Amino acid sequence: MTFNFSRSFSTRAGAEPLSDDSIRTLAPSAFAAEAHESRSARYAYIPTSAVIEGMRAEGFLPVFAKQARCRDAGRQEHTKHMVRFRRQGVSPARRVGDSFPEIVLINSHDGSSSYHLMSGVFRLVCLNGMVVADRRGTEVRVPHKGDVVRQVIEGSHVVLDESQRALEAADAWAGVPLGRDEQAALAEAAHVLRFGDAAGEADTPIRPAQLLEARRSSDRSDDLWTVFNRVQENTIRGGLSAWGRDPNGRPRRVTSREVTGIDQDVRLNRALWLLGERMATLKGAA
């Protein structure tokens, strides 16, 4: 069977700090002029753009941004958005030298989200951002009231510490070899997470083995960190193709879609990270 990839994502996303103009293009709701009309007088409107400015002043540089698609045109300018920050001057891990700790910020101005800070890891070689499973209760939520900018900045330092610990875990995973059966088990679990229904049945011709395919020669190693990255990238990025059949039994080519929704992105990334942690534990590396 031949596995093909398609690429629909920006090839430079996450590689360099973003200007306000770039963020405005990627996530215009971060610059909403006011809160959505559904918000009450108790809602303290602090635009995400003000938080971004405060984060920059503290050395946290925005490197990625996107916003959720909204079917309600009246909420489009206030919808949920995500901004990823990287601390200026932070060094990558020793063994996984292409990966950096990040802070993931989610917010909206329509009431669907408070300011939500989570740990992240960014891998430069594939421009791939991950969201880490919150194992220590360190994610931070800041309601829309009071001194939001100060609270977000303070929370960012807490979350960054957890991101650093995640990077240390990745460094350890890079020294854990996985056999073929172990790699297959990781891919099968990820396949159900991405394509399975409530009963765990995956109605797609895309096979678990495709999640293990390397997109670049440097990702062909069999250590846990590299295998995890292959699975995570293929799960989130999509672009995997396979032949299936339509309802009339005729052959048709199916290509998996990139995960673009913010909630699904976070849910899948955290679940995948948890799978990596479980495998590390089974291998005695946690």
Q: Per-residue pLDDT tens, the chain, 286 aa: give them.
A: 333 333 333 434 566 899 999 999 999 989 987 664 555 566 667 889 999 999 999 999 999 999 988 665 555 666 899 999 999 877 666 666 678 899 999 998 776 678 899 999 998 767 778 888 766 667 898 887 888 899 999 999 999 999 999 989 999 999 999 999 999 999 999 999 999 988 888 889 999 999 999 999 989 999 999 999 999 999 999 999 999 988 888 999 999 999 999 999 999 999 999 999 999 999 987 6
Are residue 189 and residue 277 in the same domain, yes or no? Answer: yes
Are residue 218 and residue 264 in the same domain, yes or no? Answer: yes
CA distances from 263 to 19, 70, 123, 269 (A): 25, 13, 21, 10
Are residue 201 and residue 68 in the same domain, yes or no? Answer: no
Any domain includes 11: no
Total domains present in the chain: 2
270 lies in which domain range?
A: 180-282
CA distances from 56 to 38, 53, 124, 147 (A): 30, 5, 21, 17
Are residue 28 and residue 131 in the same domain, yes or no? Answer: yes
Any domain includes 2: no
Q: How far is CA 74 from its chain centroid?
A: 27
Q: What is the pTM of this model?
A: 0.85
What is the distance between the alpha carbons of residues 248 and 92, in angstroms, rounded to a whole number? 52
Any domain includes 47: yes
Are residue 152 and residue 206 in the same domain, yes or no? Answer: no
Domain boundary among 142, 166, 190: 166
What is the distance between the alpha carbons of residues 155 and 116, in angstroms, rounded to a whole number? 9
Any domain includes 4: no
Are residue 66 and residue 138 in the same domain, yes or no? Answer: yes
Q: Which two tokens stand for residue 20?
A: 């306000």
Are residue 139 and residue 277 in the same domain, yes or no? Answer: no
**CA geometry: angle 99, 120, 165, nearest 5 deg:** 75
Q: How far apart are the first and last CA of the chain?
A: 36
